[in-house]
C-alpha cells in the first residue's frame, strides 16, 4: 500500500549515481561560469589598456 503512494525505495547505488550526476552537472555549470567570467575579465582588461 505505501509503495503505491511513495514508489519503491532506491538502492544506495541508485542514490549514489543520482547524487554523482547532480554533482557533476553542478561542476560543469561552475566551470562554464568561470570560463565566461575569465573571458569577460580579459575583455575588460583589454578595454582599459586602450
- Supply the pLDDT for residue 3: 66
**Number of domains composing the chain:** 1
Closest CA to 10 of 36, 1, 19: 19
- For residue 27, the enclosing domain spans 20-50
Alpha carbon distance 43, 49 (integer Å): 10
Express each pLDDT in 15-49 by its tens digit.
999 999 999 999 999 999 999 999 999 999 999 99
How many C-beta neighbours within 10 Å does residue 36 have?
10
Mean pLDDT across the stretch 11-18?
95
Domain assignment of residue 9, yes or no: no
Amino acid at each position: 500500500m505505501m509503495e503505491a503512494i511513495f514508489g519503491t525505495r532506491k538502492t544506495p547505488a541508485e542514490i549514489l549515481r543520482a547524487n554523482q550526476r547532480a554533482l557533476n552537472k553542478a561542476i560543469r555549470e561552475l566551470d562554464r561560469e568561470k570560463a565566461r567570467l575569465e573571458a569577460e575579465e580579459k575583455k575588460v582588461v583589454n578595454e582599459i589598456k586602450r
